[in-house]
Amino acid sequence: MKNYNKYQVGYFPPPASQMKWIKKDHIEKAPRWCSVDLRDGNQALIVPMNLEEKIAFFKYLVSLGFKEIEVGFPAASETEYTFLRRLIEDDLIPEDVTVQVLTQSREHIIERTFEALAGVKNAVVHLYNSTSFVQRQQVFRASREEIVEIAVSGAKLLKSYAAKYPESNFTFEYSPESFTGTEMDFAVQICNAVISVWEPTPKHKVIINLPATVQMSMPHVFANQVEYMCDHLANRENLIISLHPHNDRGTGVADAELGLLAGGDRVEGTLFGNGERTGNVDIITLAMNMYSHGVDPGLDFSNMPNVVNAYETFTSMSVPPRHPYSGELVFAAFSGSHQDAIAKGMKWREEKKENIWSVPYLPIDPHDVGREYDGDVIRINSQSGKGGIAYILENNFGYKVPKDMQSELGYMIKDISDKTHHELSPEEIFQAFKETYINVFDPIDITDATFNHLSSTKEEDDDSVSVVMRVVIDGDVYNLSANGNGRLDAVSNALRKTQYHFDYRFVTYSEHAVSADSNSKAAAYICISDTNNNLYWGVGTHADIVLASVNALVSALNRMNKKVHFVL
């Protein structure tokens, strides 16, 4: 990397920057959006879209809420020309949607462009020519005056050709291409020259587009450039300042956000940032950033999985799993501490009936973009924690695992993931939970139990419940009865009448009704300990909560018999 010394700053900061934009802490309203997926995005594809694909993509962009869509460079190819004609002739452009076309400042290209637009209701005609110092020096080898003449000539041609189509409502747009590498005084000079030709009015405003054709600076410098232009352009009140950030430095979204704070009114970009080189500004990320600050972006990304699928279908590109807001794993939390915080935040939100979103680690509610908490947010692998596993079992299957049991369960599930080297689905987690803890009836199985409450006038008489039960142990059948101070104590006393030695004590018991997708109506959780203070958990389920508790005790005893325990 010793070649760094051959690079130098190639941009031109404003001669004096007041940085008024820095006093604003967020974007207060959405800009005008213009999708350039069908032009800038399409020309970045290895295999460009065919005519039918472009029509389908256009309709999809309309469905997302875009009111301005750049449909191409109609003078560049027959496909581009035919596409625009199909949109117009088949009446595929809604009344409230404006199409945009791109043209160089050359008469035969401008003429062909207007021929393609014949009959359109509303259109933006976007004129551009390169203005940067290196382009003037190395490509055109032209003076400032000659570059201005190219722009002015094109502006005049647009005005004269538009007059030939009075049935159409045209808006003119001008881009000093490679704006970021243009001296600021020259950028102002050439834009003002174009503005003077077009003579914008309140009813017929002009779009001045400031493209970061190649990102060359940090975002705050771009914002200063935008602010400088807004302060020095003529007839500013009748201008729409548009931004077209590319992403060479990976800061396309930051450029757009700071550019909007600095006076931008409009943004040209693409879904997921598809564009030349490293891409354009990602409109989805930019819009969702505003959404997360309580600003209506004016675009509909409420079904993000569908947006991802449509984009990948139309472009044959793929959305990375960690792409902001839209990636498959963007809401996924594998870390135990993250899962615990999210689960507690969700519970707090439910308890407080909170309307404002403030859940740890989740900048927006996944439901707002068509994602689910289960399977999308809490994901389980060997790095996960007890809270996430408990959350999965409760929200997917209705089992409210006691807090004291969660550590043992967490280690058991993580061990499975670690040994199999893969993420566990909610179904796999439940299956492991079920096989390990629920209704474990081998080698002990109480096949029938009937309980009766006993009446006594003596305060000291603790035997308040009797049980008559049938139990199978290692194939031996016992018909037993006993009394106890509760149903589980009665069962324990009956078991001790067999030839087997049962030596344990109860540690904790809890029960609840089971909801969610489960056929069980009740669940009971029992923890017992042996003489060495080893803990054994069992879970029982049954339509009758009394029998569910019996099943939980049996499950715990069978785990104790197999020496399956968690040492505190």
CATH number of the domain where residue 148 is located: 3.20.20.70
**516 and 417 share a domain?**
no
Domain boundary among the residues 315, 348, 380 is at: 315
Domain boundary among the residues 421, 454, 483 is at: 421
Domain-embedded: residue 219: yes
Structural domain for 386, as ranges: 336-421
The tally of domains found in the chain comes to 3
- The residue among 180, 201, 194 whose CA lies nearest residue 233 is 194
Helices (H) and strands (E) in the chain, counts: 16, 14
Please give the structure tokens belonging to residue 363.
Answer: 């900048």
pLDDT confidence of residue 517: 53
Domain-embedded: residue 29: yes
Residue whose pair of structure tokens reads 């900048």 in the numeric block = 363
pLDDT confidence of residue 458: 55
Domain CATH number, residue 514: 3.30.160.270
**192 and 103 share a domain?**
yes
pLDDT, tens digit (0-9, with 9 covering 90-100), for 379-406: 787 777 788 888 889 988 999 999 999 9
Determine the Cα–Cα distance for residues 286 and 347; give it in Å rounded to an integer. Answer: 30
Determine the Cα–Cα distance for residues 403 and 560; give it in Å rounded to an integer. Answer: 20
- The residue among 515, 499, 496, 478 whose CA lies nearest residue 553 is 496
**243 and 379 share a domain?**
no
**358 and 266 share a domain?**
no
Domain-embedded: residue 294: yes
pLDDT confidence of residue 333: 78
Domain-embedded: residue 344: yes
Domain-embedded: residue 4: no
Q: Are strands 32-35 and 266-269 parallel, antiparallel or unpaired?
A: parallel
**448 and 399 share a domain?**
no
Looking at residue 431, its amino acid is Q
467 forms beta bridges with 451, 482
Domain-embedded: residue 107: yes
Would the pTM of this model clear 0.85, i.e. be above it? Answer: no
Q: Dihedral of the CA atoms 293, 295, 299, 301 (nearest 10)?
A: 30
pLDDT confidence of residue 568: 37
**343 and 453 share a domain?**
no
CB proximity list for 500: less than 8 A, separation 6 or greater: 473
**463 and 401 share a domain?**
no
Which parts of the chain have pLDDT scores under 50? 565-568
**368 and 253 share a domain?**
no
Domain-embedded: residue 428: no
pLDDT confidence of residue 141: 95
- The residue among 258, 224, 229 whose CA lies nearest residue 19 is 224
Please give the structure tokens belonging to residue 436.
Answer: 């390990």
pLDDT confidence of residue 516: 53
**350 and 274 share a domain?**
no
Domain boundary among the residues 372, 387, 421 is at: 421
Domain-embedded: residue 102: yes
**246 and 295 share a domain?**
yes
**86 and 207 share a domain?**
yes
**291 and 411 share a domain?**
no
Determine the Cα–Cα distance for residues 152 and 162; give it in Å rounded to an integer. Answer: 15
